[in-house]
Amino acid sequence: MPTVLLAGLLYPCPFGQAPDPASEPLAHRLCDRDRAVHYLDAPLSSRPAPPVASDLARLKVWAHHWLFEANPETHDSRKWDPSYRTWDPQTQTLAVSPVEKDRALEAFWRMEEHHRPPAGRAARRAAVEALVNTLLAHPVTQLWTVHWDNQDDTAFDGLIALDLPSGRVRVLMTHDFA
C-alpha cells in the first residue's frame, strides 16, 4: 500500500490516494495536540456511487466513506476500531446537510474553531480561508456540511464537494480529539 508523509508521519494511503500536496501545509497549520485537519482531492472511480439528493441513506453512506478516506489516521487499525469505517446508525451519529458555496467558509470556520482558544485566531482564520478557497476553486456540483461522531468522544466535521462532470470529490475536514 502506498504511503504519504503527512505532518512528519508516514500514513498508509489506500487506493493510491494522497492528501492534496498544495493544501497539506495549510491544513498542517491548523493541527495541534487536540485537532487534525485534512484535505483530500480524489477521483470517484469505483468507490460508492455518488449520492442522489432524495436518498438520505445512500448520501450518508457516501459521505461517511469520504470523511473517513480524508482522514489518514483512520486507516491505522492500531489507532482506530476498523468498525468505524462502515456507517452504522446504531453506534454512530452522522448529519449531512447541503450548503451553498457562499456559506461554506463560515460553516467550516465554526467547525474548526470549536473548542479553540482565542490565541492564534487570526492565523487560523487565514489558513481556513485559504483551504476553503482551494476547495471551492474547482467546479462544485454539490456541496455538503458533514458531522460524524462515535457517540462517545470523537467527532469529525467537514465539507464535501462533488464535481460530477470531472468525477472528483474534495473533502476538507477537522478531527477534534478534545
pLDDT tens for the chain, residues 1 to 178 = 333 333 333 333 333 344 555 666 677 777 777 778 888 998 886 566 666 667 888 889 889 999 998 988 888 888 788 888 888 999 999 999 999 999 999 999 999 988 788 888 998 999 999 999 999 999 999 999 999 998 888 889 999 999 988 888 999 999 876 5
DSSP secondary structure string, 41-82? EEE-TTSSPPP-TT-HHHHHHHHHHHHHHH-GGGG-TTTS-G
pLDDT for 10 equals 35
> CA–CA separation, 169 vs 139, rounded Å?
10
> CA–CA separation, 178 vs 166, rounded Å?
37
Assigned C-alpha cell, 5: 508523509
pLDDT for 23 equals 66
Sign of torsion, CA 51 54 58 62?
A: positive
The angle subtended at Cα 47 by Cα 42 and Cα 52, nearest 5°, is 100
> CA–CA separation, 143 vs 163, rounded Å?
9
> CA–CA separation, 71 vs 1, rounded Å?
16
Helices (H) and strands (E) in the chain — how many of each?
4, 7
> CA–CA separation, 157 vs 176, rounded Å?
8
Closest CA to 124 of 35, 12, 46: 35
Within 10 Å of residue 43's Cβ, how many Cβ atoms?
Answer: 13
pLDDT for 71 equals 87
Q: Are 24 and 6 in contact (CB under 8 A)?
A: yes
Q: 3-176 has which fold? A: Protein Transport Mog1p; Chain A (3.40.1000)
Assigned C-alpha cell, 126: 487565514
pLDDT for 84 equals 85
